């Protein structure tokens, strides 16, 4: 969320952010409510002071009745003012949680993903001298999944990998974690069960009504818990309510967790295969830093994922999201997309986001700067790797005519030295 002081002093900037990001503009309502809230606070303070003065005068007054009557009258007025104040503060809080983050001046302006900008391409998509198989065919012919059986047991949009494909998935995850640890990230094995407020604090949903999450989040019946869709949710609240030291920033986490998403808004999309499913595993990069460090850390996170794409020997491209596609809480965002031969297209494997102080205001995560002043931290996140989605371009790009898959060199030590899996043995 944004600082109310910033909104007061920069209403045009806020209005523009709403416009270029495609969100409803509540700036004028917020400013009017802010005026009334401050007015009511002044009124209640003044009336409370008057009531306290009368209360002190009553014991020594010759005629106590008028003073008692006035005290009761003021008490009733204060009660009405306090009730209105609580109501207005609730309205203001809800609207403040509907104001989007201000996008970076450098972020491309646009309405939707059709106006995103390709920053660069790395690697050349492979020209096959045979007809490449799609992910599901490779999984099927090698006995690496039992799609129909798992669907009958667990329902649609679930998966289980068997044998060498399961080994390869684990090897990719392990490789990425080891890479991030070597770069100074602290590995955090995160829980997937959390409280709705923790999800709300990450700033992915607008307003103060947490029921808006119900279409996207698996709520655990008869509990006050739910399932998180990314380790970012937990990592974002790790330092809630704390005051960090500037000398300790940036703090870098590599969070791993099973992730759960309803994918309610994705009906009919990617119904085959292992790209869009209800449960998956993800390594998430997450950073706390000063606002001045944010741009450097954004490039750091982005480059880490690009290095992973290169290590996995995948053609990829980097996309800068326009304002209309970057989402509610982001200052800027880049997607990293790998080449999927079966679709003859690039598909997103990770999204690098600068959030500014938007999340830290919700979690009250601050640091003490060199002058001794308290400042809100900047936060950033990017995918480390998401599986099994990332497995798809690996097996499709490295497949052979017999259905076997060449293992990228970086993974071979984690696969017992094997250079190939699957195919005809």
Please identify every residue annotated as catalytic: 261, 276, 348, 351, 389
Give the pair of three-digit tokens for residue 223: 């509990």
Q: What are phi and psi of 48, to 5 degrees?
A: -65, -40
Distance CA 157, CA 151 (A): 7
CB 88 within 8 A of CB 37: yes
Q: Please name every residue paired with 219 in a beta bridge, in sequence order, or none if there are none.
A: 226
């Amino acid at each position: 969320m944004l600082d109310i002081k910033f909104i007061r002093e920069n209403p045009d900037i806020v209005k523009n952010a709403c416009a270029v990001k495609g969100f409803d503009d509540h700036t004028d309502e917020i400013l009017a409510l802010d005026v009334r809230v401050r007015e009511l606070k002044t009124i209640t303070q003044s009336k409370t002071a008057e009531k306290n003065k009368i209360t002190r005068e009553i014991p020594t007054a010759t005629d106590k009745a008028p003073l008692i009557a006035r005290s009761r009258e003021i008490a009733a007025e204060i009660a009405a003012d306090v009730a209105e104040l609580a109501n207005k503060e609730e309205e203001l809080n809800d609207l403040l949680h509907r104001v989007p983050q201000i996008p970076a001046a450098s972020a491309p302006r646009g309405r939707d993903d059709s106006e995103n900008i390709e920053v660069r391409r790395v690697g050349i998509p492979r020209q096959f001298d045979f007809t490449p198989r799609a992910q599901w065919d490779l999984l099927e012919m090698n006995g690496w999944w039992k799609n129909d059986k798992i669907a009958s047991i667990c329902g649609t949009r679930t998966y289980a990998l068997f044998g060498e494909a399961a080994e390869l998935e684990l090897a990719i995850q392990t490789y990425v974690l080891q890479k991030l640890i070597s770069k100074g990230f602290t590995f955090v094995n995160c829980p997937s069960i959390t409280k709705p407020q923790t999800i709300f604090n990450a700033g992915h949903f607008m307003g103060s009504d947490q029921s808006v999450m119900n279409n996207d989040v698996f709520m655990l019946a008869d509990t006050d818990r739910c399932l998180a869709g990314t380790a970012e949710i937990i990592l974002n609240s790790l330092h809630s309510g704390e005051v960090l030291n500037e000398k300790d920033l940036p703090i870098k986490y590599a969070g791993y967790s099973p992730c759960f998403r309803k994918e309610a808004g994705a009906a009919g999309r990617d119904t085959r295969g292992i790209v869009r499913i209800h449960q998956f595993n993800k390594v998430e990069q997450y950073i706390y830093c000063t606002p001045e460090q944010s741009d450097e850390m954004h490039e750091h996170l982005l480059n880490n994922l690009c290095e992973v794409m290169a290590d996995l020997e995948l053609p990829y491209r980097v996309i800068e999201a326009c304002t209309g596609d970057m989402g509610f809480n982001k200052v800027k965002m880049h997607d990293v997309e790998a080449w999927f031969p079966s679709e003859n297209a690039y598909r997103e494997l990770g999204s690098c986001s600068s959030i500014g102080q938007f999340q830290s205001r919700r979690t009250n995560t601050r640091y003490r700067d060199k002058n001794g002043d308290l400042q809100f931290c900047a936060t950033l996140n990017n995918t480390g790797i998401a599986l099994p989605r990332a497995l798809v371009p690996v097996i499709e790009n490295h497949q052979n005519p017999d259905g076997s898959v060449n293992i990228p060199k970086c993974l071979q030590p984690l696969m017992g030295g094997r250079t190939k899996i699957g195919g005809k043995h």
